[in-house]
Amino acid sequence: MRTQLRKLRDIWVCVDHPNERRPAQLDEINARQRPFRILPVPEGKPLQPLGPDVFYGQDSEVFNLIDLARPNGARYVQVQSGQPAALPVSADVIPVNSWAAFYYYSLVNPTWNVGLKNEWTTVAKARLQTCADTLLALQTTSGTTATNAFYGGFLGPSAGGYFSEDTSTAGLVMVYAYRVFADPKYLYAARAAANFLRNVQAIGSCGVNFTSSDAAGTARLYTGGISNFVSTASGFYSDHVFYPASLLALQFWNELKATDGDQQIGASAAISGAFTYVPQQLLSQSMTDLRNCFATGIYDYIHHDTRTGLSATTPAEFYNAFPATKLNTGSVGTGSWEYFDGPSATGTIVTAYNIAKALSALYAVDGLSTQVQAVDDWLQTFASNAAFATAANTSSRDLARATTGTYSASVAPSRKLLVRDSSNGYTATAKNGDSLYDWGSFGLMAPLWSRRRATAFNTARDAAITLIRRYTDGQPTDSNFLDFGFYRGRQGLSYQTAFLETLYHGPVPQ
């Protein structure tokens, strides 16, 4: 009605719409408006949970995952995708507490945790102490360095022997715990762990059951490496198998030396049944010997040359030394570098987890050395394997439950790496050996990758911490099933998490 209209500049406006403006008027008003001053919100959360800009939520998810897995003895790499963890896994008490402790120490260390909330560091410190004390209860402390060759080793429940990697990681936890809590019991434990690892290293030169350069086991061979496994049987029998991942011992020794100085490590006497000669020597010399093992290499009696498995040109899973028959360990020596899926003649695969542990340890000790750069550059050359590509006309529903896709080496290593082509005379190749991205290997190499390829690293990290739909069935309930890739430790090449797989232990047969 005309009585309800009023003149507003050059237009008539109804009383029901008193703020009505023409487009030109709105533009004029906006032009005169002072811009809003947007203040940053402390600890702001992302508006869109499926595409986060900050990671507080994801950080808490990681913390909670580790906090739940650790007391239940569930080793993270044994979580079966799409299935509940098989708890407890008593044989994995040492690995799960060791790797959890590394994570907690990263939250406690003031050099690494810049900007972290105080309540996080408080809880992490308490968890670190729990991990250290749990491990401490598993250390062998009977006898002395002069009477017990196993003195200082860490032996997991229901384990048939000592894994050197377990003692390396647990020993490093003891060093970290000593730095945080200044309790001498942790320092004594770290020294004892270094003692055991030196004993294992010295088997070739000093052991009664020594590593050999001939199949019959009559000539001594000191590689400088640390055998993967030592049986609990009396006599100090090892498997004489050397993994690049054993460089974790180098990282442990390096941190111990930085904290406690150079010192004599190893048995202080020729223990009956274990050593013919006294294995004790300086920590610094033991570090040099171990470093040289994977820098120079070990002689291969099949290829008749000296090579190292931690190499872009001669990659291998481990060195399997003589003697041919190894008492109390069950392995058969070949005097050559072998592969995850077979011996020197027919093997084609190495595992990313083995390489990642070695590379991360070496980077922590040597920094960006020539060898670290060469192996890291080589990992970036791996091409996508057509055997694991998505077949044409695959439905979204089927793809979500599969692992196929196009592999990108800049995202993360695949769990297995194909380094030799069996269909082409076993010539060198570089392709993904399966269809699973290995986020555990990515995490181990994160310090290195974030330094060398920051942009690609951040993009890959976004993939691991982004919530995705597990299923794409076209049903309204699809959005109810969301998942993080880091929950699984692995994802398919199209970032799937709904696939099923068998449990995988990594390169060390635990």
**Over the stretch 206-228, which tens digit does the pLDDT of each residue have?**
999 999 999 999 999 999 999 99
**What mean pLDDT do residues 85-106 have?**
79
Given a cut of 60, whether residue 47 has pLDDT beyond it is no
Give residue 89's pLDDT: 54
* Separation of alpha carbons 284 and 291, rounded Å: 11
What's the pLDDT score for residue 115? Answer: 62
Condensed to tens digits (0 to 9), the pLDDT of residues 130-173 reads 999 999 999 999 999 999 999 999 998 767 899 999 999 999 99
Tell whether the model's pLDDT for residue 71 goes beyond 80: no
Reported confidence tier of residue 339, pLDDT bands at 50, 70, 90: very high
Q: Could you tell me what percent of the chain has a pLDDT over 70?
A: 89
Helix (H) or strand (E) holding 11: strand 11-14
Q: Residues 231-256: what's their mean pLDDT?
A: 96
Return the exposure string of 296-308: e unless at least 16 CB atoms fall within 10 Å of the residue's CB, then b.
ebbbbbeeeeebb
pLDDT at 17: 77
34 burial (CB, 10 Å; 0-12 / 13-18 / 19+) is exposed
pLDDT in tens, 304-317: 999 999 999 999 99
pLDDT mean over 337-363:
96
Task: Name the residue among 263, 247, 273, 254 with its Cα closest to residue 164.
Answer: 247
Q: List the one residue out of 364, 499, 352, 497 whose CA is nearest residue 412.
A: 352
User: 484 vs 438, which has greater pLDDT?
Assistant: 438
| Of 16 and 142, more confident | 142
In the predicted model, what is the mean pLDDT of residues 194-213?
A: 97
Contact 198, 281 (CB under 8 A): yes
pLDDT at 505 over 90: no
Lowest mean pLDDT among 22-31, 154-163, 203-212, 363-372: 22-31
Residue 217: predicted pLDDT: 94
Single out the residue of 235, 164, 232 nearest to residue 198, CA to CA.
Answer: 164
More confident residue, 133 or 478: 133
Can you tell me the distance from the alpha carbon of 197 to that of 228, in angstroms, rounded to the nearest whole number?
10
What proportion of the chain, given as a percentage, has pLDDT over 90? 66
Mean pLDDT of the chain: 88
pLDDT at 506 over 50: no
Q: Is residue 326 scored above 60 in pLDDT?
A: yes
The region of weakest confidence among 35-44, 337-346, 379-388, 493-502 is: 35-44
Look at residue 374 in the predicted model and tell me its pLDDT. Answer: 97
Q: Is the peptide bond before 88 cis (omega within 30 degrees of 0)?
A: yes
- Looking at the chain, the number of H-run helices and the number of E-run strands are 16, 18
Per-residue confidence at 23, pLDDT binned at 50, 70, 90? confident
Residue 181: its pLDDT value, please? Answer: 97
pLDDT score recorded for residue 112: 72
Least confident residue range of 108-122, 174-188, 326-340:
108-122
Question: Can you give the residue ranges of every domain in the chain?
Answer: 2-32, 345-510
DSSP 470: S
pLDDT at 449 > cutoff 50:
yes
- pLDDT for 81 equals 47
Give the pLDDT of residue 114.
Answer: 62
Q: With 80 as the cut, is the pLDDT of residue 118 above it?
A: no
Residue 320 pLDDT class (50, 70, 90 cuts): very high
